[in-house]
Amino acid sequence: MKRIDLIKHLTKKGCIFIREGANHSVFFNPLTKRISTVPRHREIDNHLAEKICKDLGVRSFKRKRK
């Protein structure tokens, strides 16, 4: 999955960008009061994207079938 798509999904679900780390971006969900990091790679593995959503308490999105 593209990193930009994951970030758009997180912001639509109410997560807030906190800061840039050395290799990650830090996001915060004010509803669940949880924090997670998103790596700065163009492609992010789908399992990692699901874990980031789970860590933030955000419903993960449906995968596109080919």
Residues 6+ apart with CB under 8 A from 3: 38, 39, 40, 41, 42, 43, 44
Whose CA is closest to 5, among 61, 56, 58? 61
Mean pLDDT of the chain: 92
Give a yes or no: residue 66 inside a domain.
no
CA distance 57 to 60: 9
**Model pTM?**
0.88
Instruction: Indicate the number of domains in the chain.
Output: 1
Give a yes or no: residue 17 inside a domain.
yes
Give a yes or no: residue 61 inside a domain.
no
Range of the domain at 46: 3-56
Q: Which of the four pLDDT bands, split at 50, 70 and 90, describes residue 61?
A: confident
pLDDT of residue 51 exceeding 90, the answer is yes
Q: Which of the four pLDDT bands, split at 50, 70 and 90, describes residue 43?
A: very high
Give a yes or no: residue 63 inside a domain.
no
pLDDT of residue 16 exceeding 70, the answer is yes
CATH number at residue 9: 3.30.920.30
